[in-house]
A = this chain, B = another copy of it.
């Protein structure tokens, strides 16, 4: 295989996670090892930065800042939800690649982003521009197929489990048979994050919170949930419920009030948590119902990130570069779990076309018969992922995060209207 000499471009796309920047650090760290890589560029805000030729010189960032990326939430390069649609956009991407001699493109993102990477890769091949395109998985949703799990998920899971265990201390202290505490977590179409709350239970304490986990995979049955709540209140004096934002009823309609309108035609902004609170309040008199909605907090809570997750995100970045150097292209890095009793992980590769635009749901057999709790199969899967704490430097009492200098690469091409 002939050595491919040229420049690297790294981009981030979609919703950030606590560890997406660790993958950038992994890519940079590995790229520095290879002489055939000349420059290491980043694109600001994913494909938007490519279209607008907004590139930065990552090699000029200090080692300190690159190291700090390993514990910095958000997306240090900026991200976007922009979807390439027009042929002109794709052509522009290739034009920018050629102008800056981009021979290696690493795109860190979820389903949509892997689809974009796939299309760019195929277009480059069609145009005879020799390059290697490797996707790096990231999403707190954990819904990418072809990989045991996605970097970002475990840190969200650890944060939710930590939060539920803390709330349990609070709620138990307040519980007089009348407290219902609801935590609404992310997960539009899969319940991976909601399920992770089960990690808050102590071993052999099945009655520990969360008492009920309401998953998008299990259609919402109002009567059953109300009965469950009453039963738990009687036994525990309080009831802690974790509900996924994507909870749907038997007809597939969202339980959330989201998108509904009030008497004035205004959108009512409550989510599944508020909707559930309303149902509980309306049907069981005399309760105190409290809703917490961590919202975007759960995808950037690096102060409760999983070290395993941060390490694997870094590893995935390194693996992307190694694969590209070895001549691979049009692939996404995957995480493969070892077969042994001790948790190990190594990386693999899957064709981009196979991961793009499909969703991995929580297996039904990992959910208990009761539909509101997780069994040992889920725990065996998730527990190893949340091991270890990321130590974050603090200054003046708050965490210190990386701030890139973002030295711009000179533009070569005429402007382009997005």
Contacts and interface: CB of A to CB of B under 8 A. Distances in A.
Interface of A: 12, 15-16, 45, 48, 72-81, 158, 161-163, 165-174, 176, 181, 183, 199-200, 203, 262-263, 266-270, 274, 277-278, 281-282, 289-297, 299-304, 306, 383, 386-389, 394, 396-399, 401
A181 B299 CA distance: 14
B296 A293 contact: no
A48 B237 CA distance: 15
Nearest to A154: B397
A168 B263 CA distance: 35
Nearest to A391: B389
A25 to B, nearest CB: 14
5 contacts: A74-B173, A162-B398, A166-B303, A267-B278, A292-B295
A167 B296 contact: yes
A162 B303 contact: yes
Contacts of A181: 296
Most B CB within 10 A of own CB, among A166, A167, A168, A293: A166
Most B CB within 10 A of own CB, among A171, A174, A268, A399: A174
Number of identical monomers bound together in the oligomeric complex: 2
B398 A386 contact: yes
Given A167-B296, A171-B296, A397 B386 contact: yes
B297 A166 contact: yes
Given A173-B78, A176-B80, A297 B292 contact: yes
Contact of A170 (B73, B162, B171, B282): B73
Contact of A262 (B163, B263, B383): B263
Given A169-B401, A389-B394, A397-B306, A262 B266 contact: no
Contacts of A290: 295-296
Given A76-B173, A262-B262, A274-B274, 8 more contacts: A73-B170, A74-B169, A80-B174, A166-B300, A169-B300, A268-B270, A269-B278, A293-B295
Contact of A163 (B183, B301, B401): B301
A389 B398 CA distance: 9
Contacts of A176: 45, 48, 80
Please classify the interface of chain A as helix (H, G, I), strand (E, B), loop, or mixed, using the class held by over half of its residues: mixed
B388 A170 contact: no
Contacts of A274: 269-270, 274
A398 B300 contact: no
Nearest to A165: B398
Contacts of A262: 262-263, 268
Nearest to A394: B389
Contacts of A165: 398-399, 401
Contacts of A399: 162, 165-166
B397 A158 contact: yes
Contacts of A73: 166, 169-170
Most B CB within 10 A of own CB, among A75, A203, A297, A383: A297
A135 to B, nearest CB: 19
B297 A173 contact: no
Contact of A166 (B162, B200, B289, B301): B301
A292 to B, nearest CB: 3
Contact of A173 (B75, B162, B304, B398): B75
Which 7 pairs of residues, A with B, have the shortest CB-CB distance? A74-B169, A292-B295, A386-B397, A75-B173, A170-B300, A263-B263, A166-B300
Nearest to A379: B396
Nearest to A179: B296
Contacts of A302: 166
A166 B300 CA distance: 6
Contacts of A171: 74, 296
Contacts of A74: 166, 168-173
Contact of A174 (B16, B170, B281, B292): B16
